């Protein structure tokens, strides 16, 4: 929601498009009794992981997906910033053509203006350059939002990062 608010600050008259990617296979039934979870605790990428859903090192263990999701976010942001041809590189995986709905007519008075504050400054840096999307995640789902102009780049960066 923070990213959406920041988009509304910088692009107050633009339609926002939402997207997401999914790795599949992340959930399992609890495998270990709560009193045994300590036996399967590990440190992964600086985070303590309390593993109740799988065996340490298992490819479908939920805690393993958190580390992977953080790596995907970092890679997607890097690709978004540093690889201007990312849409062309991902073209074989993208729908052809990538179609958008017709933007709604502006209501009388337009959208309400989102206001910036100390924590929410919009999506533009002081020099006017655009910040990369946050690519938030939930387990193995990468969620993103952008305006029409940047959505193909955002989608492609997340897709290639996965």
pLDDT at 75: 94
Pairing of strands 16-22, 42-44: unpaired
pLDDT at 102: 77
Q: Is the dihedral angle over the CA atoms 97, 138, 10, 114 positive or is it negative?
A: positive
CB 24 within 8 A of CB 158: no
With 60 as the cut, is the pLDDT of residue 156 above it? yes
Interhelix angle 62-82/151-161, rounded to 10 degrees, is 130
CB 47 within 8 A of CB 39: no
Q: What is the pTM of this model?
A: 0.73
Q: Is the dihedral angle over the CA atoms 30, 33, 36, 37 positive or is it negative?
A: positive
pLDDT at 57: 54
């Amino acid at each position: 929601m923070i990213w959406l608010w920041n988009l509304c600050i910088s692009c107050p008259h633009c339609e926002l498009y939402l997207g997401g990617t999914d790795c599949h296979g992340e959930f399992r039934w609890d495998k270990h009794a709560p009193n045994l979870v300590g036996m399967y605790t590990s440190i992964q990428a600086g985070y303590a992981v309390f593993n109740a859903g799988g065996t340490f090192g298992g490819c479908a263990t939920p805690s393993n997906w958190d580390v992977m999701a953080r790596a995907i976010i970092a890679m997607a942001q890097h690709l978004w910033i540093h690889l201007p041809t990312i849409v062309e590189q991902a073209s074989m995986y993208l729908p052809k053509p990538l179609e958008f709905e017709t933007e709604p007519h502006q209501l009388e008075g337009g959208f309400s203006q989102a206001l910036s504050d100390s924590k929410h400054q919009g999506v533009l840096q002081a020099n006017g350059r655009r910040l990369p999307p946050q690519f938030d995640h939930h387990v193995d789902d990468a969620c993103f939002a952008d305006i029409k102009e940047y959505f193909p780049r955002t989608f492609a960066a997340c897709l290639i990062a996965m």
